[in-house]
Every structure is written in C-alpha cells, then in structure tokens.
Structure 1
Amino acid sequence: MRMTAAVMYEQGLPAPFAQSRPFRIEEVELEGPGEGEVLVEIRGAGLCHSDLSVVEGLRKRPLPIVGGHEGAGIVREVGRGVTECQPGDHVAMAAVAGCGKCRTCVSGRPGLCQAVSGARNEGLLATGARRLRLLDGGRLNHYSGISVYAQYAVVVPQALVKLPKDVPFDVGALFGCAVVTGAGAVFNSAKVRQGASVAVIGLGGVGLTAVMAAREAGASKIIGIDVLPGKFDLARAVGATDCVDARDPHVVQQVLDLTDGGVDFAFEVSGNLSALEMAQKITVRGGEVVGVGLGKATATFTVAHLPWVAEEKVLRGSMMGGGVPQDDIPRYADLYLRGRLPVDRLRSDHIGFDQLNEGFDLLHGGGVVRQILLPHGA
C-alpha cells in the first residue's frame, strides 16, 4: 500500500529544524505483514527526546528511515502464525520486543535482547524483514522496529500490548515509551519503597512519569529538578513535593538540606553527563543512582572509586523501564483509568505531519512535554 510517512535522509542537521527539515513528509510503499508480523493503523505517535537525539545525530541510525518509536493504534491485519492479537485490537507500540528465547528474554528482560537489537540497528524488523520502501523502489529502514511517524506500520506482535478501548489513542501512545520507561524505572529497576526519598533530574515526559510513579510507590519526598522552572507547576501537580532549579549553583546543597543528607534514589532522565554527576552527589550513603536518559553514544562518565565503595552507592542503568511491557503496560493503563497515574497531563499538543519538524524545535527548546502526531488528522 501507499501511505504518508516522515522520512529522515540525514542526521545532524542544524536547528531550527523547521528550516533544515530533517523529516521529509512523502508517500512511501508498505508491504503487508508476513509470517509473524502485524499491520497497525497508527492513531497517535509521541515526539520523544530519544527521537530528538537521533535527529541531532547523537545516536546513529541506518538511513533513510521512517522515524518514531512511541505510538498507539488499531490492529488491521495479522500475518500467518500470529495469535497474540487480532484485527480491531487497540494497542500500544513499544520498542522493547525480545525474541523470547535468549538468556535475557527468559529472565524477563526483553529490552536487553541482543538478537532483536541487532536487527533493529540494521533497520529491520525482528523477523529480519524490511517492509518499507521508497516509491522508486529504494531501501527504506524501520526505526526501532516500529516507525510510527507514518499512517501504518508493520511490526512484530512482541512490540504490541493490548490497551483497554477506553484509553484514548493520544494517551495510549505515551505508554509505549514515556510511561513504560519512567514508571518502570521506579517500579522495576529501583523498586522504590514506601517512605523513600526520590529526586528526578529532567522533567520531560519520562521524568514526570517517574514522579507520578514515585508518588504511587509511596515515596515521602519527591524532588523534581530541571533547568526550566516553568515545568515545576506540572511536576507538583503530578506528585513532586519540592522542585529545584538545576541552574542554581547551590542545587546540590538544597537537595541535601531537603533530605537530611541525600535522596535514597536519584533518577537521571536527561541523558546529560553533568546531571549524572549531580545525581551522584545528591544520593545518600547506601542510595542508588538510576540512569534512565540516553545521551551521545560515545559519552563516558567517571565515578570516584573510594566513595563509591565506602558509601556503598549503587549505579544502575534502566533501559525502557527494565521490565516486560506486556505485563507492565496493562498495570499502568489500569492505574491511569483509576486516576492514580495521570499520564494524560503529559500531552502538550496535537500536531499533523506538516508541523513535525517544528515540533522538534519546540522539544529542543524544552517548552513542551509530549506533542502527539496524529497521522490521520484529528
């Protein structure tokens, strides 16, 4: 079939993106689903900082490629052998899709599956197929095995999680990345306990979801930290007990004073190395620093060896929430429907394809949380 999609031909183009146009909106060809694959009509797709980092060239992808890795839609067709879903199902689409057979998948960590991540890095589906192509027949790659900046996508069923039909698509899209990543970091990776103190550095979609999850987990102190104080009202509305401006030269001391020596858990969500250094400084002895944000692929950071050992601090990575989306997303959707995880508060605006590049300018400037692309219009 022919469909409209956002295609990236070059990474690292300069801002403003409304002028450099990293995404070109054009018609492309999409083959129907093969064995073990599913065709989904995309009804909502989020603009995420991970996508922005790819636009900026911080993490390389095979080009040309149809962008987007956070979405929701309706199953329209299933390939031979697919039993996990059926036409008409409403689904969230998550980039965490393991093979189900390797060591990490069997241990309940599909986000670390090497077999599937290898295929994704080559622009393929987990089946090894490529269903996208340019109108001239040229090769066109899949982004994270999903490519939701399009009207339709062919994916593997492991990337789909059924959603209750009373979850709107523009909210359901958030569950595929922002929600599963932020809430999972709190519930799965850190296992935040009742009464714990928490700091979240970076109050975008993932960070604000972590704030919500920390409140749900019963944290007694939840400190939101960001360079943009304009985000603090929303952070407080969804669970933050305190907010601190990351640009304040006394930010570390402020957190230490608020928590009697440091937080039990510091979540670094921005992918910024200076923020990661701050996270180590504001964590109490015996506490945990949880790295959630992804930065430049070649970036490295240092750890002071003696304090790390003597103070028994834990440095932990959390990839896409460190869990199993098929188990976690239904739980998070239930919390949303019961008003306990108000992820609809993350929505900043709805946009069309013609606003996509400008949308990344707004994301780059930090003035929005989650813009939702509606590939078929309002």
Structure 2
Amino acid sequence: MNGNSSTAGKPIRCKAAICRKAGDRLVIEEVIVAPPSRHELRIKIICTALCQSDVIFSKLVDPPAIYPRILGHEAIGVVESVGEDVTGVKPGDTVIPTFMSDCGDCADCHSEKSNLCSTLPFNITPYMPREDKTRFTDLNGNPLYHLFYISSFSEYTVVDKNYFVKIDPSFPPDRACLLSCGVATGVGAAWRTAEVEPGTTVAVFGLGTIGLAAAEGARLCGAKRIIGVDVNPDKFEMGKKFGLTDFVNPKTCGDKSVSEVILEMTNGGADYCFECVGMASLVEEAFACCRHGWGKTVVLGVDKPGTPLKFSSTDVLRGHKILTGALYGGLKAKRDVPILCKRYLDKELQLDEFVTHSVKFEEINKAFDLLEEGKSLRCVIWMDK
C-alpha cells in the first residue's frame, strides 16, 4: 500500500452526499471510506459536476434502483493511496475517474472498433467492478452503494485501476471533470463513433449538455449544417456557440413530424443524427430523418431499461442506414481524454461554455434544482470552496 503515511491502508472518515430514498433530497453525512484493495486507488475529490444520469438514478424506484447510494460520476481528484498491482499512478497524481473500463489488454481495448472493454464490461452495479462489495459504509457500519464505479459525491472515493485517466495537475479542474462523462460523450460520439465528415449535415435531438457537446463535436469535425431539435426555443441561441445553424421545435411543427420537417429541410435527410434525450420515439424520429444510403444515427440518451424500439424491417433493409449506441461516445479514456485536454488548451474544444454554475458541496441540492429547472448545463460542485 502506497500513500500518505497517516491514512494509507486505513479507513478514512469524511463527508458524502447520500441518496437514501427515491426522490428525496441528498443528505450530507459522515461516512467511512475503506482503503483501496488490490487493483484499486483511493482518490480525494477536488470537484464534481452534476449529470442528468445522477438525477435519473436519484429517482429510480425499480431495479437497478438501490438505496442508500452515493451518486456522482463526473469528477477530478488527487490520488491519496494505491493498492497492490496498481501501476502508472502514484499518490499525489491528478486523475479523472471514468465509468468505462480501459484495461488496455483485451481484444476490445486493442481494437479501433470498440471501447467496450471485455475484461470489465460496463454494467449498472452498486458495487466495485471486480467483486460484489462496496467501499462505503455509514457510521453504523451499514453499506452505502456505488454508482457507475465512481460515486464522486464524497470527499474520498475508491476506483478500480481501469477506470481513471491521469492528467496534468495544472489543467483547470472545473473543466477537466466535464471529460468524465457528458461533454466527452457528446464530442466523442461525433468524433469517434459517427466520424462526422467535413461539409456534412447533422441533426441533434435534445440540447442538454450531451446534445450541445455532440454539436460541438460535429463543429470540430467540420460539419457544414447542424440542426438542433428541442422544445425549449432558448436552446437555439445557446446552441449557436457550439455550431448550431438551424433549429426545430417539435411544438411548432404543426401536422408534420420532426423527421418530416428535417427531411424537407435537408432534401433527403441528415448525414448524421444524434439522439441525446433517452426517448424511444426520438430514436425512431432520428432514424427516420437519417439519409438513405449512408446515414448514421447514434443513440446517446438513457431510456428506461427494456424500452423497445419499433422499425419496419423493410425500411431497415432498403434504407442502408446505421443505428448504433455509443457509451462514453465511443472514447477510449486513456487514449482520447488527453487529446481532448490538448484541444481545449489549444482553444479548439469549448469547455468553458458548458459550466453555467458552481456551488459548494454543502449546496449540492441546489445543483439538482438548477438542472431540473432547466437553468444550467453543468453545475460544478466544489468540495473545499
């Protein structure tokens, strides 16, 4: 065990924001964070951002719901200690935890075609990825469950060695945390999954952080026309900063569907479509207005588990179109996050514009309010400010 001599190998008592019941406000309590086991590292969180997925999981009633749980998965922190068989990182290093494994050894990690690590496949589990145990307990010794292998709404957390990226400590932490999930997912979907080409037309369904990040990714790739779809007309002005050229409000389409409107606007459909809400009907609309012959629709939104999609097999056969999902935008964290960091420092990738609010850890419920009221894109939650 390597780390701070006063805490390495020992449990740490610290504060965490706990979701104890579906729909309840988070409560800040003292918790016990176990030392890292083999293949693990313990991180002191600097700051964390609120993602829509945290809101969804705070309200779930049916499985994979489980309580009490420590939410949070967009973060940056400093390594406090490491367990056995952890290489390439040491106490004091700055890291971004990620919810997708990147072992670097399996067939998927070696392939350019996938970011779905087959050593530790993505799964919505309340435990650590290698064993059905948590690293959190309350002061009575009761387990507190994990989210996405990160649980960053805690002053300290434990992550597996396959779930982090080491970055330069000088990188702004309230920008770096955005690359844990939302912004990286949207940008990556355009860049790595869709491979948007210069001069093409893109349609983005849902202009929250992920949708605007998909627009930003398409802009970086050189898309000529980027159509945003949202029921909030204010999102168009906001989206122009990320490359939006056109806007469709489903509420003002009259008797026409959104897909019909986009098909007319584009004279045959968009080259690339991104569904960023998590609604089966929008996936179907996106696929419907994707251009025949080569169009690609990328699903990024998280719908209720088991929600079916309905397509005509004849349309699928004749359309020659592609429909695919993209966890984490298809990014390989250890390869791609450093590239995104450099593109930000080179003033190519926009990150500043996504951070609309910041709060102290004690005000974490305010971050939830801002997001649910549609007032924020990303609210950064600072542990020590």
TM-score normalized by the length of structure 1: 0.91
Match of 2:88 among 84, 89, 92: 84
Corresponding position of 1:68 = 72
Corresponding position of 1:157 = 161
* Aligned mates of 2:263, 2:379 — CA distance in 1: 34
Match of 2:207 among 197, 203, 208: 203
Q: CA RMSD in A?
A: 2.0
Q: Does 1:2 align with 2:13?
A: yes
Corresponding position of 1:117 = 122
Match of 1:233 among 237, 254, 263: 237
Corresponding position of 2:286 = 279
Structure 1 position 49, deviation (Å) = 1.2
Corresponding position of 2:55 = 52
SS in 2 for 1:142: coil
Query: Mean alpha-carbon deviation: is it higher for 333-342 or for 269-278?
Result: 269-278
Residue identity in the other structure for 2:279:
N
More helix by share: 1
Q: Figure out how many residues of one structure are paired with residues of the other and give that number.
A: 368
Structure 1 position 102, deviation (Å) = 4.7
Q: Structure 1: which 5+ runs fail to align?
A: 14-19
* Aligned mates of 1:162, 1:99 — CA distance in 2: 14
Q: Structure 2: which 5+ runs fail to align?
A: 1-11
Structure 1 position 336, deviation (Å) = 0.9
* Aligned mates of 1:179, 1:149 — CA distance in 2: 19
* Aligned mates of 2:133, 2:301 — CA distance in 1: 29
Paired residues of 2:79 and 2:93 also in contact (CA < 8 A): yes
Corresponding position of 1:370 = 378
Structure 1 position 86, deviation (Å) = 1.7
State the Cα deviation string for residues 51-101 of structure 1 (Å, max 9, x = none): 122122176243222111111112222222211212222221110114555
* Aligned mates of 1:190, 1:345 — CA distance in 2: 23
SS in 2 for 1:158: coil
Query: Mean alpha-carbon deviation: is it higher for 128-137 or for 330-339?
Result: 128-137
State the Cα deviation string for residues 274-298 of structure 1 (Å, max 9, x = none): 2212212221112111111111112
Match of 2:325 among 317, 336, 340: 317
Paired residues of 1:29 and 1:133 also in contact (CA < 8 A): yes
Q: Does 1:266 align with 2:247?
A: no
Paired residues of 1:196 and 1:221 also in contact (CA < 8 A): yes
Change (3 A) 1:123 1:61: farther
Paired residues of 1:53 and 1:59 also in contact (CA < 8 A): no
Corresponding position of 1:216 = 220
* Aligned mates of 1:112, 1:39 — CA distance in 2: 22
Structure 1 position 106, deviation (Å) = 4.4
Structure 1 position 264, deviation (Å) = 0.4
Corresponding position of 1:245 = 249
Corresponding position of 1:256 = 263
SS in 2 for 1:321: helix
Structure 1 position 165, deviation (Å) = 2.9
SS in 2 for 1:362: helix
Structure 1 position 234, deviation (Å) = 2.0
TM-score normalized by the length of structure 2: 0.89
Paired residues of 2:262 and 2:269 also in contact (CA < 8 A): yes
* Aligned mates of 1:342, 1:103 — CA distance in 2: 33
Structure 1 position 248, deviation (Å) = 2.2
Corresponding position of 1:17 = none
Paired residues of 1:62 and 1:121 also in contact (CA < 8 A): no
Query: Mean alpha-carbon deviation: is it higher for 348-357 or for 154-163?
Result: 348-357
Structure 1 position 103, deviation (Å) = 4.5
* Aligned mates of 2:117, 2:308 — CA distance in 1: 20
Paired residues of 1:180 and 1:328 also in contact (CA < 8 A): no
Corresponding position of 1:40 = 43
SS in 1 for 2:76: strand
* Aligned mates of 1:237, 1:193 — CA distance in 2: 20
Paired residues of 2:126 and 2:134 also in contact (CA < 8 A): no
Higher relative contact order (CA 8 A, sep 6+): 1
* Aligned mates of 1:281, 1:313 — CA distance in 2: 10
SS in 2 for 1:117: coil
* Aligned mates of 1:226, 1:154 — CA distance in 2: 38
